[in-house]
Structure 1
C-alpha cells in the first residue's frame, strides 16, 4: 500500500509539475509577448521623439532665419530711409543749381544768388549727412551703372566713352544709385 500511496504521490507531483511547467510556459509566453509589445511601443516612442526633435529643430531654424531676415529688412530700411525724401527734393536741388549757374550783372540778383547758395549748401550738407552724394561724371569714363547717356558726339582730342557734358547730376545713397547722371558722351 505504501508503494501505491507513493506512486500516487509521485504521480500527483508529476502532474503538479506538468501543470506548473505549463503555467510557467504560459507565463513566459505571455511575458515574451508583453516584452515584444513594449519593445515595439518603445521603438514607436523613440521614432516619435526623433520626429518631434526634428520638427523642433526645423521650427527653431525657421524662426532664426525669419529673425535674421527681419533684422536685415529693418537694417536696410533704416539705411535707405531717406531715399524717398531725397528723390522728392532732388528737383528742387536741380533748380537751385540752375539759378546759381545763371550769370547776372544785377546786384540785387547777385544778392539773391548768395542767399540761394547758402540754402543750397545747407540742403546738400543735410543730404550728405544722411549719405546722399553727387556722382562725379564730367570728364570721367562713361559707366552705365551710374550714367545715362542721352547724347553722343565726336570730339577731337577726347577718347571715346568719356563724359563730356552733364545735363542732370546723378546721386547715390550710401551704396545705392537713386538717380543716374544724364550725360553726353564722346564717340
Structure 2
C-alpha cells in the first residue's frame, strides 16, 4: 500500500528548502496582514528583525575588535619576550666593561685587554641584533625617563641639568627602557657672595 504525500507536506518541504529573503518575507507578511488583519503583528516582527540585525552587526564589530586587541597583545608579548633575559645579561656587559677599564690601566695585560674588547663587541652585537640598544647619556640633558640621577654636583664646565658622568649604562628594548642609565647630573653653579 503506497501513500501519496499530502500537498501540505510538499509545501512544507519546499518552504524549508527555500530560504526567504527579507523582501519575500515582507511581501508574505503584507499579504498575511491584508488577509488576516494582523498589521500590528507584522510591525512587531519587523522590529524584531531589525533588532536582530543590529545585534548581529554589533556582535561582528565586537568580534573584530577582540581579534585586533588580541593581535596587538600577542605582538607586544612577542616583541618584549626577551626582556627578562636582557635584564640578566646587562650586569655581565657591565663587568666586561669594568674589566676592560682595569686592563687598560695595566701595561702588562695587552692580550687580555684585546680579548675583553672582542667579547664586549660580540655581546654588543648580539644585543643590537635583538633591538637592545645602549642609552646615550653623557653630555645629554637629563631625562628622568631614560636616566636615574645618583648624584647632583655643581659644575662650572657643564650646563645645569646635563649628564656629566655615566656610572652604569642604560639600555632600551625597542622603545621600552630595560634599565635607565645611572648618571651624575650637573647642578647650577654656586653663586658667589
The bucket for the TM-score relative to the shorter chain is: 0.7 to 0.9
Is residue 183 from structure 1 mapped to residue 183 from structure 2 by the alignment?
Answer: yes
Residue in 2 that maps onto 1:61 = 61
Describe the SS at the equivalent of 1:167: strand
Structure 1 residue ranges, 4+ long, deviating more than 6 angstroms after superposition: 31-34
Structure-2 separation of matches of 1:136 and 1:80 = 21
Higher alpha-carbon Rg: 1
Q: TM-score, normalised by structure 1?
A: 0.76
Residue in 2 that maps onto 1:144 = 144
Residue in 2 that maps onto 1:121 = 121
Residue in 1 that maps onto 2:15 = none
Structure 1 unaligned segments of length 5 or more: list them: 1-30
Query: Which structure is higher in helix share?
Result: 1
Q: TM-score, normalised by structure 2?
A: 0.74
Residue in 1 that maps onto 2:39 = 39
User: In structure 2, do the counterparts of structure 1 residues 153 and 40 end up closer, same or farther at CA, with 3 Å as the change threshold?
Assistant: same
User: In structure 2, do the counterparts of structure 1 residues 160 and 32 end up closer, same or farther at CA, with 3 Å as the change threshold?
Assistant: closer
Residue in 1 that maps onto 2:91 = 91
Q: CA RMSD in A?
A: 1.9
Describe the SS at the equivalent of 2:177: strand
8 A Cα contact 2:33 2:39, kept in partner? no
8 A Cα contact 2:138 2:165, kept in partner? yes
Residue in 2 that maps onto 1:155 = 155
Residue in 2 that maps onto 1:106 = 108
Q: Encode CA deviations 1:67-104: one digit per residue, 9 max, x unaligned.
A: 00011112212222222211111111111111111121
How many residues in Structure 1 have an aligned counterpart in Structure 2?
Answer: 154
Structure 2 unaligned segments of length 5 or more: list them: 1-31, 188-193
8 A Cα contact 2:134 2:171, kept in partner? yes
TM-superposed CA distance for 1:33, in Å, is 10
Query: More deviation in 163-172 or 76-85?
Result: 76-85
Structure-1 separation of matches of 2:34 and 2:168 = 89
Q: Encode CA deviations 1:17-73: one digit per residue, 9 max, x unaligned.
A: xxxxxxxxxxxxxx999733x222211211111111111111101100000001111
